[in-house]
Structure formats: C-alpha cells, structure tokens
Amino acid sequence: MPSRNLGRTLIIANPASHSGKGEAAALFATRFFSSFQSVTATCEVMLTEASGDGLHMAEAGYQYDTVIALGGDGIIHEVINGLMHIDKELRPRLGIIPMGSGNDFARTIRIRKNDPERAISELLQSIDKPLDLGKVNDVYFMQTLSFGVDAAIALDTTDRRAEHTKQAGAGLFVTSGLKLISRGIRGWNYVAQIDDEHIEGIDVAFAVQNGPTYGGGFRICPAAVPNDGLLDICFSTTRPSTPHSLALFGLARFGKHTKSKRLHMRQARHVEIHFPEEQPPCQVDGERLEAEHYVIDVVPKVLRVFVSRTCSW
C-alpha cells in the first residue's frame, strides 16, 4: 500500500524515452495516480514534445509540492534546471520514474529502472533528502560533466539513440567507446584550477561527477556521493596509447581504473578549465555544451529529492 502523500503533484513525461516506452509509462502513471487519490492532493501530467519543454514546464511548477520527471537522464536534467529557476522557498521536491537508456541518476538514488510500477512503489516508500547539484557556467547537472573522449562517447550514444539504435545502457556506451578509442586519441591541451591546485595537461578524460556513474553504469568516480558538498573528478594529464586507453575504458566499467598512474582522482568544490588551442567535446548529463571557459561549482544540498531508503549516504 502507498505510504506517503506527495501533495500537489506534477508529472513531466517524455513519451519518446526508452524507445517510445515512455508513453506507456506515462499512461500507467496517470491511471495509477487517478486510482489512488490518497497519495496526492492533485495530480497533473504533462507530455513533452520537443527539447527544452521539460525545463519550461518545471520552472512554471512553483505551485506544486512534488514534480516527477518520467523518462531518461535527459528529461531529469531539464526538469532539474527548470526547478532551479524557482525560489528555494517555493521549489518543489523532485521524484523520478526512470525510463531511459543510461538511467545513471536512478542508479545513484536507487530507484527501479524502466519499470514504472516498481518505480512508483519505491517512490511512495522513499525519503526526501537535500542533494547537491553541480553547476557549470549557468547550467546545473545532477550526475556528470565531462570533456574529451568520454564526452565524445556520451554524445555518440545520444546521436545513435536518435537514430533508433537497438542497443541501450552500458552496451551502447561500450560499442561507442570501442569505436572512438580505436580510431586513436590525440588529446586536447588544457589549463585547470581545481580549488587551489593549478594543473596543465592533455585532456583525454576529464570527468566531474556528482554521482558515481555515467554511460549506463560506468563507475568513473566510484566514491562520489551526491550530498557530501564535493564534486569528484577523474582526469588525465598525459595521453595514453590506444591499447592503454582501451584497457582503462574496460576497467572503468567496474571502477577499477582509479589506481592507474595515467589518471588522477580529486575532490573539489570549485573547478575552472579552459582549452587554449582547440575545444574538445563536452557533455553535461548527456547533453552537448559549448563554451570557451568553464566555471564549475558544487551547489550543496539545494534540491530535495526522493531517494530509496536503501541509500547509505
């Protein structure tokens, strides 16, 4: 039986998520909340039609107590950025019904993936906690920001999903990674400031994480915790050979890459990075981002999120 009341609730759903299964999930959620009126004061469902709709719907949601993002990490990213346009005193809590390919934020907060019935059940038995967000320039992120080849892989998976590939999750990320890394990596020169530490090097991988995974479960920063007031960073300063890069890519699937002398692990509250010669690919929660200079900060405990009771943090 449902164990909590979500108050005035808005569901923002991407019907195209998970190869079109998001539409059926949105219909299921509509029927569920209509049938169990005790779990909400009111419930409204909005379907997105184009990129950016989720952001605009969320930023107009100040009259709700709870906003639920139904879809993949892309719609969750949009909804979070919309909610951050609302004054903190009026900002609704966030819940998710994960229906995507990567579902990395769902992994972080331990909500059932691609199973709307179980996800709603877990949501109604969850607890709401204040979580950190990352912020790069004027864009918030709940899970990941990266530059270089790992960003190129993430963007390639986005392009392949748009072309209706049958692959999903880590398998999709693996095939994109093998394809791009096998072509060779030239790297991008960068200058960075990580808190008080000045660093110069060659970017093959430079990932800034609020949660431990990206790419459908690759544990790039396995120690990352989304409410510790810190961002976790994995970065390179030299360019490894192609065979070495392929080996590190395989090890990252299970978080075994962190002991490599080719990579460095840090935690920080503030990062600045720029690329004096050529801009590398950049992604934020799977979305393309372009700038000449990147200013990255952690925004501590700024958004209340419904997370599984099994979360140890």
| 205-247 tens-digit pLDDT | 899 999 999 988 999 999 999 999 999 999 998 887 888 888 8
Quick check: 18 pLDDT over 90?
A: no
Quick check: 1 pLDDT over 60?
A: no
Q: pTM of the full predicted structure?
A: 0.93
pLDDT classification of 3: cutoffs 50, 70, 90: low
Q: Are residues 30 and 175 in the same domain?
A: no
User: Mean pLDDT lowest for which of 15-29, 85-99, 240-254, 272-286?
Assistant: 240-254
Q: Are residues 156 and 291 in the same domain?
A: yes
The domain of 34 spans 8-125
Domain endpoint, select from 125, 152, 177: 125
What is the rounded average pLDDT for all residues in the chain? 92
% of the chain surpassing 70 pLDDT: 99
Q: Does residue 246 belong to any structural domain of this protein? A: yes
Q: Are residues 61 and 184 in the same domain?
A: no
Q: Are residues 121 and 148 in the same domain?
A: no
The DSSP H or E segment spanning 205 is strand 205-209
Quick check: 304 pLDDT over 90?
A: yes
DSSP 101: S
Q: Are residues 154 and 202 in the same domain?
A: yes
Please tell me the predicted confidence (pLDDT) of residue 182: 80
- Over residues 16-25, mean pLDDT: 91
% of the chain surpassing 90 pLDDT: 76
Domain endpoint, select from 125, 156, 173: 125
Q: Are residues 104 and 248 in the same domain?
A: no
Q: Does residue 267 belong to any structural domain of this protein? A: yes
Q: What sign does the dihedral 217-221-225-227 (CA atoms) show?
A: negative
Q: Are residues 245 and 284 in the same domain?
A: yes
Q: Are residues 91 and 153 in the same domain?
A: no
Cβ atoms of 203 and 240 closer than 8 Å = no
Q: Does residue 131 belong to any structural domain of this protein? A: no
Q: Does residue 83 belong to any structural domain of this protein? A: yes
Strands, E assignment, 92-179: 93-98, 127-136, 139-141, 144-148
- Over residues 289-300, mean pLDDT: 96
Q: Which residue has the higher pLDDT, 174 or 230?
A: 230
Q: Does residue 95 belong to any structural domain of this protein? A: yes
First-to-last CA distance in the chain?
26
Q: Are residues 216 and 153 in the same domain?
A: yes
Q: Are residues 39 and 177 in the same domain?
A: no
Which one, of 117, 113, 294, 303, lies nearest residue 227 by Cα?
Answer: 303
Please tell me the predicted confidence (pLDDT) of residue 180: 78
Quick check: 2 pLDDT over 70?
A: no
Q: Does residue 310 belong to any structural domain of this protein? A: no
Q: Does residue 134 belong to any structural domain of this protein? A: no
Q: Which two tokens stand for residue 194?
A: 């990580």
For the chain, how many structural domains are there in total? Answer: 2
Q: What is the DSSP string of 44-68?
A: EEEE--STTHHHHHHHT-TT-SEEE
**Alpha carbon 96 to chain centroid distance?**
12
Q: Does residue 133 belong to any structural domain of this protein? A: no
Q: Which residue has the higher pLDDT, 33 or 249?
A: 33
Q: Name the CA radius of gyration of the chain, rounded.
A: 19
- Over residues 256-282, mean pLDDT: 94
Q: Are residues 199 and 73 in the same domain?
A: no
CATH number of domain containing 187: 2.60.200.40
Q: Are residues 71 and 180 in the same domain?
A: no
Domain endpoint, select from 79, 97, 125: 125
Q: What is the DSSP string of 247-279?
A: HHHHHHTTT--TT-TTEEEEEESEEEEE-SS-P
| 54-70 tens-digit pLDDT | 999 999 999 999 999 99
User: Mean pLDDT lowest for which of 97-106, 146-155, 295-304?
Assistant: 146-155
CATH number of domain containing 48: 3.40.50.10330
